[in-house]
Amino acid sequence: MIKTRPRPAVSGVASADRVLTVLTAFQVGDVSLGLVELAERTGLNKSTIMRLTVSLETFGLINRMADGRYQLASEVMRLNAVYQDALDLERHVMPVLQALTDETGETASLYVRHGAYRLCQYRVNSPHRLRLHLQPGDMRPMDNAAGAQALRTSIDKARTLTEPFYSSGVTDPHAAAMALPIFGAGDEMVGALMISGPASRLTEERAGILREAFCKAAADLARSLGCKVDFTWG
């Protein structure tokens, strides 16, 4: 008796791997691909590819043409636009962070809101050996730390600020930070610009000394991102 080979299960990690294998089979110069070409490039059988492309079509990543061939769809363009926007944001943010770290000697970061957390998106670490060991991608709670307060600030509230937010020992008993909200085009929240360091070094008094340079950096960044509000922060 000839045993029928079972079709690969389309679930969990294996399913994600197969879907991505089909999606990444498209190369520069491909207008469309047929089942035979997709099978050759992915090593998957045609029936599996047909089932996987249904999911890709549902999410707008692939279109099935009238002749049965497949081409990348509009969602790929949208994701590319998101990626390009992220690169553009990095181009604006990273020089500001580097300049802040050079001038203050402390770690400079840009945090964004991520659900119930704040996520470190960009960061330039302090040259000091004693510093906070966080990296881009690390998440912290939306507590009462300076960065979280900045991320909760509306643009109307930001207009009335006279000082950056400052906190010490909130998320970490040994850490202090100073932060301001950053808005971009359309006065939309971009994130929170922050400098942070050991509480023993970044005291409230020292934060006051760094205040002018920090506020200028925040205002310049917001302006470069298209914010129409001319913040002076007192």
Boundaries of every domain in the chain: 12-72, 78-224
> What is residue 14's predicted lDDT score, i.e. its pLDDT?
59
Digit-by-digit pLDDT tens for the chain (234 residues) are 334 444 444 444 557 888 999 999 998 788 999 999 999 999 999 999 999 999 999 999 999 999 999 999 988 888 877 776 776 889 999 999 999 999 999 999 999 998 889 999 999 999 987 766 677 888 899 999 999 999 999 999 998 999 999 999 999 999 999 999 999 888 889 999 999 999 999 999 999 999 999 999 999 999 998 887 777 765
Per CATH, the number for 78-224 is: 3.30.450.40
On the question of a common fold for 12-72 and 78-224, the answer reads: no
> What is residue 87's predicted lDDT score, i.e. its pLDDT?
62
> What is residue 1's predicted lDDT score, i.e. its pLDDT?
39
> What is residue 4's predicted lDDT score, i.e. its pLDDT?
43
> What is residue 185's predicted lDDT score, i.e. its pLDDT?
82
The DSSP code sequence of 106-159 is: SEEEEEEEETTEEEEEEEE--SSSS-----TT-EEESSSSHHHHHHT--HHHHH
Q: What pTM was estimated for this model as a whole? A: 0.66
Instruction: Establish how many alpha carbons lie within 13 A of residue 208's alpha carbon, considering only the half-sphere containing its beta carbon.
Output: 3
> What is residue 167's predicted lDDT score, i.e. its pLDDT?
97
Q: Compute the distance between CA of residue 6 and CA of residue 117 in angstroms, rounded to an integer.
A: 43
Q: CATH number for 12-72: choose from 3.40.50.720, 1.10.10.10, 1.10.150.130, 3.40.640.10.
A: 1.10.10.10
Buried b (16+ CB within 10 A) or exposed e, 179-215: bbbbbbeeeebbbbbbbbbbbeebeeebbeebbeebb
> What is residue 23's predicted lDDT score, i.e. its pLDDT?
93
